[in-house]
Amino acid sequence: MNKFLSIVSFAWQRALTFRFTIFMYRFGEIAESVVLCIMWIAIYAGSGDGVSLIKGFTVQEMVTYIFIGNILTAFTRSYSTATIARDIFDGTLSMSLVKPISYIRYVFYDRFGATLLVLLTAIVGQLIASVFFLDYIIFNPDLMYLLVIVAMLFLAYLTEFLLNTIIGTVAFWVDDVDGLFSMTDRVRRFFAGGYFPLSILPTGLAFVATLLPFAYTFYVPAQLYLQKISIKEGIIGLGIQIVWIALLYMLLKFIWNRGIRKYEGVGL
């Protein structure tokens, strides 16, 4: 526990020395939320008085979806890919490998700390942005729903961390994983419902999306918040997440153990 707290606290201290970066990221997120909201409000307005629902979403639900989703994404992003790939590529990994803590565990604590800070600042950012759209925001104080959402988010964090770490680990074999990360990031954002609610998709594709882990980082918890799906569906989702975590964990172990044998500790 001491190790965990120290590493998290160190991650915070380090992140806080880069306050410019923090401000710029939040600024980008706020701008994105505002633009998406303006866009959707315009679409609803433009579709005439007759249509107040698009694929079952009212304009209020759509705007709330965007704000809640952005806070959720801030939490489930783990940023471990770049850290790991860089450490492998430039040989910094060497200095971590000699320490009496597993490297992956260290990165997990460190990135978790960084993410917590991002989450806190993202909430503040989204609250600021939501001031402009107060009339559109829906509040859900249902405790049961909130509990399932929190559990789902934690598991979503784990799946994202494992996936990002696996991608980072590919750097043992190739020099640069930016392309791979960017590719999977787009696919993930799509299947997470980050561009639009997944219910807009054809039923078949939407079903596939619920079997993948990505929907649980954004779409499903946002739907839970809007109470558009039941608690039961939420709990089934948690089960799907756990299966994914087990699979990804085994895959990571397998890849890591092979990669580390190939590691040359270059840069010297």
Partner 1 sequence: MQTIIHIKNLVKEFEVVKKQKGLAASFLSLFKREKIFVKAIKDISFDIKEGELVGFLGPNGAGKTTTLKILSGIVYPTSGEVTTLGYIPSERKEKFQKQFALVMGQKNQLPRAMPAMDGFLLIKAIYEIPDAEFNATLEELTELLDITSFLDIPVRKLSLGQRMKCELVAALLHGPKVLLLDEPTIGLDVTAQKNIREFIKKYNREKKTTIILTSHYMDDIKELCERVIIINHGEVVYDGKLALLMEKYAPHKTISITTSISLHIEKLKSYGELIQNEEFAAVFKVARADAKHLAARLIESDLGVEDILIHEASIDDVVRHIFSQKSEAKI
**Site for partner 1, rule CB under 8 A:** 2-3, 5-7, 10, 13-14, 17-18, 91-92, 94-95, 97-101, 106, 260-265, 267-268
CB of 109 to partner 1, least distance (A): 10
The residue among 58 and 94 lying less far from partner 1, judged by its C-beta, is 94
Give the type of residue at 225. Y
CB of 110 to partner 1, least distance (A): 10
The residue among 60 and 92 lying less far from partner 1, judged by its C-beta, is 92
The residue among 94 and 140 lying less far from partner 1, judged by its C-beta, is 94
Q: Is 85 exposed, middle or buried (0-12, 13-18, 19+ CB in 10 A)?
A: buried
CB of 263 to partner 1, least distance (A): 6
CB of 266 to partner 1, least distance (A): 9
Give the span between the Cα atoms of 164 and 82, in whole angstroms.
9
Q: CA separation (Å) from 253 to 119, 247, 259?
A: 28, 10, 10
Q: CA separation (Å) from 16 to 31, 40, 113, 117, 138?
A: 22, 35, 12, 9, 32
47-55's contacts with Cβ under 8 Å and 24+ in sequence apart are: 54/200, 55/197, 55/199, 55/200
The residue among 69 and 113 lying less far from partner 1, judged by its C-beta, is 113
The residue among 70 and 165 lying less far from partner 1, judged by its C-beta, is 165
Angle between helices 19-46 and 103-130 (to 10 degrees): 50
Token pair in block for residue 112: 């978790």
* Phi-psi region at 162: left, alpha or beta (left = phi > 0; alpha = psi -120 to 50): alpha
Radius of gyration of the chain (CA): 20
CB of 251 to partner 1, least distance (A): 21
The residue among 89 and 190 lying less far from partner 1, judged by its C-beta, is 89
CB of 107 to partner 1, least distance (A): 13
